A and B are shown apart, each in its own frame.
Chain A
């Protein structure tokens, strides 16, 4: 573990760390209770869910405060509580949880955003008949996510990871009556599974290498120097060290969860789920889980490279991080490109999410934990804001999702518009004012002075341009021009708009904790004291960078406005960009044919393989089974014969004997009370006589 500036690690687990497990446990229990509720118990269900998450939020805040105080007193707080879960042979499999800056920050973020989303859902799902089921899933999801966050053991993390996957499946397929929703759920589940397989392999391999699954265990953990060196010692194919291989495997899992390039296909389809779900899963928490995982195992990723203070790899980077970086960067651009040509309001956001996740990955790869996590946090807030804004738009337009059938909502839904605009500006990184700008800027900065090549930098800048462009496009479509949808749009209820306002505040305000001038957040994550020094502004190449990103953003906004500003195109007529470059537009609209590609390759292969297996089943195994069956039936026939002839026969004989015997005895049972009484009396006489004669005189 990193020890900068003579920070002394604090080892003893404090009371709050002891009860840290409550944070995930409370919502899980709540979901269990809700699962037992009857369908009409709506109010109770939502109250339970929200209340439980509020409790978790309080606990998380306490934990955060604890870490904060420890940090400000110059400790690097990392408190772990481990216990033996499964002793096997000589070794044991331990589970445990950890409280350190990383998990503390994540805890606060997840609980806070989650709580807001819960409140929002009470309004959004108000008319759904399966309200209680929804909240059951929601709180189960929240619990699992929190479990992922606090896990100090890869295994525990993986368990919660899988629960998260399951709940996301349940939630995406919440409206399972819709075939598309069911399909989307299946797709999400399977696609993430692909990643998880690699993840599991990585876990096993790691266990084989280090003999423990704990991250930190007072020097005995996998991520502590001994474990790292143990993994570095191991060798994998192609001259890679085991550490790198494991890192890549785990990254594959992360990529699956947070929709990185090869495995991103499920995320856009997952928009079939209810909007709060999209906000919860695809903005704030689940997809962030991947990023969080990479951040969590960052020491492993960075293994081999020389660690500077703050854990960012100085000098020559490592293979794993390079991969992460390139995947992230390409995902960012790729998804942004697709997002340009989508018409479904939520799909656009989904693709933007994918690209933003790409940013985070790239940030992790190049700038270290702090950079990536900072963007994760800010993004979580404004993307949740955007999704929920989209939700309220959809709500207001009578479940219409096609942006070409909206427009002019600026006047009908002022609150939504204002908050949405804030979110959009934050996302596209409007200079100085919004949090998105600072986090993205940090990533760009780290990309700019990355040692192995400028490629990612250019990609990311282009991505930023696109981001600004498609967000502008969307906003123009939705809020400007005149209303083109059916019916009359209306503003959403307070219970939905209130969370929007709060999130909007965060979207603006959160930037200040991470400005280059006062990199408090980074400092907090990297365990060295934060200092306010404007000197950083004068570093060479700082202003140019700011200027570039600002320029890019304005360019994107301007282009967007120029194409779409205030002219409200009908649904049937061609899109503005389409008129310019039809072919490109076609590709983009069809999402660069990735799905189709998978369709003809992977899916087709599996289908063929399934047919083969089917043939095997029917012909070969089926034949064998049939043969065995006939043999047994023959045996059974013989058996029956034997039974009927000998066993039954003998038994019947015996029964007859007993029956006749009983008949004889039954004669005594005359059914007359007095006869019984008579026998009794005779017995008395005999008994008394015996007593008298036997008694000594």
Chain B
């Protein structure tokens, strides 16, 4: 088990955990948290690959991670804003009750 493999495993586990959270929790905010976890797992992958890449001085992987962190922040802001406004209309954050958009 090389170190990179270890990081990848951790990332995979984290991703799975995040996915599980996103799939199983009722609360929309927690679903968002799950998604954040998944994103972070992806970032961990990126950085790990960068660290063990043949040319780390190119910085590609880390830059990717940094940008994705920024994007994730934006995503979190908008997502939570959406949740709040949804809550304001239907006094709940329970996803099981949010099926207004079914065909």
State whether B98 touches A671 (Cβ < 8 A): yes
Give the contacts of B61-103 with A (CB-CB under 8 A). Answer: 95-96, 98-103
**A667, B103: Cα distance in complex, Å:** 6
State whether A672 touches B103 (Cβ < 8 A): no
Render A658-696 as a binary contact track against B, CB cut-off 8 A, 1 for contact: 000010011111111110011001000000000000000
Residues of A within 8 A of B13 (CB): none
Closest Cβ of chain A to B90, distance in Å, is: 13
Binding site secondary structure of chain A? helix
**A666, B96: Cα distance in complex, Å:** 18
Chain A, residue nearest B100 (CB) = A671
State whether A671 touches B102 (Cβ < 8 A): yes
**A678, B22: Cα distance in complex, Å:** 9
Render B17-51 as a binary contact track against A, CB cut-off 8 A, 1 for contact: 00100111000100100000000000000000000
Residues of B within 8 A of A665 (CB): 103
State whether B23 touches A677 (Cβ < 8 A): yes
Residues of A within 8 A of B28 (CB): 673
State whether A670 touches B23 (Cβ < 8 A): no
State whether A669 touches B31 (Cβ < 8 A): no
Residues of B within 8 A of A681 (CB): 19, 23
A668 in complex: contacting residue of B23, B31, B101, B103, CB < 8 Å: B103
Residues of B within 8 A of A678 (CB): 23
A674 in complex: contacting residue of B22, B100, B103, CB < 8 Å: B22
> Assuming A665-B103, A666-B103, is B19 touching A672 (CB within 8 A)?
no
Residues of B within 8 A of A673 (CB): 28, 31, 95, 98
**A239, B23: Cα distance in complex, Å:** 108
**A671, B95: Cα distance in complex, Å:** 10
State whether B22 touches A669 (Cβ < 8 A): no
State whether B31 touches A674 (Cβ < 8 A): yes
**A671, B101: Cα distance in complex, Å:** 5
Residues of B within 8 A of A670 (CB): 99, 102
Residues of B within 8 A of A669 (CB): 101-103
Chain A, residue nearest B99 (CB) = A671
> Assuming A666-B102, A666-B103, is B96 touching A672 (CB within 8 A)?
yes
**A677, B70: Cα distance in complex, Å:** 23
Residues of A within 8 A of B95 (CB): 672-674
Closest Cβ of chain B to A631, distance in Å, is: 50
Closest Cβ of chain A to B1, distance in Å, is: 19
**A344, B95: Cα distance in complex, Å:** 93
Give the contacts of A623-682 with B (CB-CB under 8 A). Answer: 662, 665-674, 677-678, 681
State whether B31 touches A672 (Cβ < 8 A): no
Residues of A within 8 A of B101 (CB): 669, 671
**A662, B103: Cα distance in complex, Å:** 9
**A671, B90: Cα distance in complex, Å:** 15
Residues of A within 8 A of B103 (CB): 662, 665-669, 671
Closest Cβ of chain B to A45, distance in Å, is: 55
Residues of B within 8 A of A668 (CB): 103
State whether B23 touches A674 (Cβ < 8 A): yes
**A562, B22: Cα distance in complex, Å:** 118
State whether B23 touches A672 (Cβ < 8 A): no
Residues of A within 8 A of B31 (CB): 673-674
Closest Cβ of chain B to A688, distance in Å, is: 11
Chain A, residue nearest B34 (CB) = A677
Chain A, residue nearest B35 (CB) = A677
> Assuming A665-B103, A667-B103, is B22 touching A672 (CB within 8 A)?
no
**A678, B103: Cα distance in complex, Å:** 18
Chain A, residue nearest B28 (CB) = A673
Residues of A within 8 A of B19 (CB): 677, 681
Closest Cβ of chain B to A310, distance in Å, is: 91
Closest Cβ of chain A to B86, distance in Å, is: 11
**A43, B24: Cα distance in complex, Å:** 77
The interface centre, meaning the residue of B24, B28, B100, B102 with most chain A CB atoms within 10 A of its CB, is B102
Residues of A within 8 A of B98 (CB): 671-673
**A667, B96: Cα distance in complex, Å:** 16
Chain A, residue nearest B26 (CB) = A674
Chain A, residue nearest B102 (CB) = A671
Residues of B within 8 A of A666 (CB): 102-103
Residues of B within 8 A of A674 (CB): 22-24, 31, 95
Chain B, residue nearest A678 (CB) = B23
**A665, B102: Cα distance in complex, Å:** 11
Residues of B within 8 A of A677 (CB): 19, 22-23
**A681, B15: Cα distance in complex, Å:** 11
Chain B, residue nearest A668 (CB) = B103
Chain B, residue nearest A673 (CB) = B95
Chain B, residue nearest A670 (CB) = B102
Closest Cβ of chain B to A672, distance in Å, is: 5
Chain B, residue nearest A684 (CB) = B19
**A677, B95: Cα distance in complex, Å:** 12
Closest Cβ of chain A to B38, distance in Å, is: 10
Chain A, residue nearest B101 (CB) = A671
**A677, B22: Cα distance in complex, Å:** 8
**A678, B101: Cα distance in complex, Å:** 17
**A575, B36: Cα distance in complex, Å:** 109
Closest Cβ of chain A to B93, distance in Å, is: 12
**A678, B23: Cα distance in complex, Å:** 7
**A671, B102: Cα distance in complex, Å:** 4
Residues of A within 8 A of B102 (CB): 666, 669-672
**A681, B35: Cα distance in complex, Å:** 12
**A673, B23: Cα distance in complex, Å:** 9
**A667, B95: Cα distance in complex, Å:** 18
**A671, B96: Cα distance in complex, Å:** 10
Closest Cβ of chain B to A71, distance in Å, is: 82
**A664, B30: Cα distance in complex, Å:** 32
**A39, B19: Cα distance in complex, Å:** 70
Render A532-570 as a binary contact track against B, CB cut-off 8 A, 1 for contact: 000000000000000000000000000000000000000
The interface centre, meaning the residue of A667, A668, A671, A678 with most chain B CB atoms within 10 A of its CB, is A671
Residues of A within 8 A of B23 (CB): 674, 677-678, 681
**A669, B99: Cα distance in complex, Å:** 9
**A669, B100: Cα distance in complex, Å:** 10
**A477, B65: Cα distance in complex, Å:** 103
**A674, B100: Cα distance in complex, Å:** 14
**A677, B24: Cα distance in complex, Å:** 11
Q: Which B residues contact A (CB, under 8 angstroms)?
A: 19, 22-24, 28, 31, 95-96, 98-103
- Closest 10 pairs (CB-CB, A-B): A666-B103, A671-B102, A669-B103, A671-B99, A671-B101, A670-B102, A672-B99, A669-B102, A674-B23, A677-B22
Beyond A662-B103, A673-B28, A674-B95, 15 additional pairs, beta carbon < 8 A? A667-B103, A669-B101, A670-B99, A671-B99, A671-B101, A671-B103, A672-B99, A672-B102, A673-B31, A673-B98, A677-B19, A677-B22, A677-B23, A681-B19, A681-B23
27 contacts between A and B (CB under 8 A): A662-B103, A666-B102, A667-B103, A668-B103, A669-B101, A669-B102, A669-B103, A670-B99, A670-B102, A671-B98, A671-B99, A671-B100, A671-B101, A671-B103, A672-B95, A672-B96, A672-B98, A672-B99, A672-B102, A673-B31, A673-B95, A673-B98, A674-B22, A674-B31, A677-B22, A677-B23, A681-B23
